[in-house]
Amino acid sequence: MTFGAWNVRTLLDRDGNACPERKTAIVARELHRYNVDVAALSETHLPDEGELVEVGGGYTFFWKGTAASETRRSGVGFAIKNHLSKRLEEYPVHISDRVTTLRLHQGKDNYLNVISVYAPTLDKSDDIKDKFYEELTYCLDSINAREQVLLMGDFNARVGRDYEAWPGVLGKHGVGNMNNNGQLLLSLCAQHGLAITNTMFRLAAKYKTTWMHPRSKHWHLIDYAIVRQKDFGQVQVTRVMRGAHCWSDHRLIVTKLRICPRRPRRSLIKKPASLNVDKLKDLAVREKYAEALSEKLLPVNEVGDVDAAWGTLSSHIMDTASTALGNKFRRNEDWFDENDEILRAVFDKHRDLLRQHKRQRGSVAVVKASDLELRNLTRHMKDKWWQDKASHMQWLTDTNQLGEFYSEVRKLIGTSYQARVPLRSLDGSHLLTSKEDVLKRWAEHFNTLLNVDRSADLQSIGLMPQLPLAFELDEPLLRGEVITAIRQQQNKRTAGIDLIPGELIKYGGDELHTLMWEL
């Protein structure tokens, strides 16, 4: 894709300018000449925020500026090709009149975050500069580390060419010397692992400088295209287009990206397959599983070490269960699964009727009657399936079978993901957005929870009467006690660190229970 960065202000706003066209038409025409897909526009001087479609120019403009009643000295926005803007899944998010973002979906879980900025000039106060870089830092911190970043716009900063002092941030082909604004920009890039692509390519100075000083007549590089350092390999070129003309004293910066979506990072630890323990509800399957397991059991005294014995036993249990029960394949249930055969027969009959009507020009009323009958049948099946499912889940709730109840819920709606709950201040008056405030709130919470004076509790414990010691608890467990505890455990419990479901031990037979008691 081709991206552009352009300061579109100045000469259009001067008195006595004889420009015959509106600003957006000129910008769209020049962007179309250079086949720019998405352009980051700065210093637009447009009020409030809005959207404008240039049908003839082929671009859609989004902008954010100051209020109409205020003096307009800034403003940022985007120009996007119309066919791309129609496929946008998210509209631009305007953070302020100097920072706005656009999130482009690149397939699956890959996103490209394009940020359009207009930084304060060198003569602005430190408070304005600090506010701008705080907004930009907040914007960068809110982007997922897996997602790509393309930061573009007029930074009003000269970064120089001291690439040795800023490894990874600057390339060997910078221009000029660094100023105070350049120091702020380089610090931001170093903090977030960003690279300034303008300084990475060996080009003539006329293809790198973007703005000429009105008094000294020297050309400077103050407009940039910045990406993550790990994504620099996807940048094909970043250069100035000297022929672009829109009555602005800034040149158009164009950067071409060969976007390569990353594959999702997968864990090196292979997750074991989930066993279909629901088959153990069948008595015949239980007996077959217990019989197959008893053939592989070894006495404890032949192994000696308890840990080694349990390791051998657990592997035997999992191998036997995998053979006898098989793996469980998760699939969401739906109403038409159980009625598939009936529906297929009815649909085939209806299709045959349609083919016959098409060949012989049969009665239209018969076709409409068949269609109505088909609709009524499917609606009746769907309603009956949901009513039966609701009644079954209500019965599970009434009988306190919560494991089975939640299993049915997961079959219907799939796995649920925990949502991120916003954290509020202690008095609940406002949300905490910055990472530092969130960490301070957690520290305050744990300090209040844990660092409490317990002297009064210790005194109360000392006044309690001393009960006699229960020495009978030191006696070894009886075989019947262990077997009773195993048989009384509930099904559908989460497996432990050995990843063995409790049902495999519960229905493993008397020989397995005896071996567990010996261990």
Q: What is the pTM of this model?
A: 0.54
Write out pLDDT tens, residues 183-192.
999 999 999 9
CA dihedral 179, 181, 187, 189 (to 10 degrees): -110
Q: Are 97 and 120 in contact (CB under 8 A)?
A: no
What is the per-residue pLDDT for 395? 93
Write out pLDDT tens, residues 311-365.
888 888 888 888 888 887 666 677 777 788 888 888 888 888 888 877 776 677 8
Distance CA 307, CA 288 (A): 28
Q: How many other C-beta atoms are found inside a 10 Å radius of the C-beta of residue 460?
A: 9
**DSSP readout, 47-86?**
-SEEEEEETTTTEEEEEE---TTS-----EEEEEEHHHHT
Predicted confidence band at 81 (pLDDT cuts at 50, 70, 90)?
A: very high
The set of long-range contacts for 159-164, using a CB threshold of 8 Å and a minimum separation of 24, is 159/185, 159/186, 159/196, 159/199, 159/221, 159/224, 161/199, 163/199
Residue 455 has pLDDT above 80, yes or no: no
SS3 42: strand
Write out pLDDT tens, residues 118-171.
999 988 999 999 999 999 999 999 998 888 999 999 999 999 988 888 989 999
DSSP β-bridge partners for residue 148: 112
Give residues with Cβ within 8 angstroms of 249, minimum separation 6: 10, 11, 211, 212, 214
Write out pLDDT tens, residues 422-439.
678 888 788 787 888 888
What is the per-residue pLDDT for 99? 93
Residue 177 has pLDDT above 80, yes or no: yes
CA dihedral 33, 38, 40, 46 (to 10 degrees): 80
